[in-house]
Amino acid sequence: MGIPLTQALSIGTYVLGQHLRGRKRYPLVLMLEPLFRCNLACAGCGKIDYPEKILNQRLSVDDALGAIDECGAPVVVLAGGEPLLHKELPEIVTGALAKWPDDLAVAVEGEELTDPSEEDVRRWVLESDAA
């Protein structure tokens, strides 16, 4: 699957900017995991083996958006655990879309959904087996 032109342009612009600043190392993709809990139990998954105390933790909207800002990577993937179990995922997606309208993906049970709309995410969260 090819990369849409708008994504290629924004990533290319970011990479060029890093080179012009003389940076040899910089983030390109942020894999943000707002929770570890999942509604599946894949063999060998290290995340679902964490204690309940860890599995019940959720990254706040402010912390998630702060991490996205701090990292500055031009591509953001919201993964987990199962991100749809995070009840504030629509707010995180809305905030991320405001900054990266073309370069956001949500990884849902091993599948990557690119260019999600806020409405899609809100519906998915409501339809999921929310914790």
Per CB under 6 A, residues contacting ligand SF4 are 38, 40-42, 45, 47-48, 80-82, 109-110
Smallest separation (angstroms) from ligand SF4 to the CB of 77: 13
Task: With beta carbons less than 8 A apart as the criterion, state whether 77 and 112 touch.
Answer: yes
Q: What's the number of CA atoms in the CB half-sphere (13 Å) around residue 119?
A: 0
The nearest distance, CB 13 to ligand SF4, in angstroms, is 32
Q: Which is nearer to ligand SF4, 14 or 36 (CB)?
A: 36
- The residue ranges of DSSP E strands in the chain, in sequence order, are 29-32, 75-78, 104-108, 111-114
Q: Which is nearer to ligand SF4, 47 or 87 (CB)?
A: 47
Nearer to ligand SF4, 33 or 118 (CB): 33
Residue with smaller CB distance to ligand SF4, 22 or 46: 46
Question: What is the spatial distance between Cα 127 and Cα 108, in angstroms, rounded to a whole number?
Answer: 13
How far apart are CB 18 and ligand SF4 at their closest, in Å? 31
Strand arrangement, sheet containing 29-32: 29-32, 75-78, 104-108, 111-114
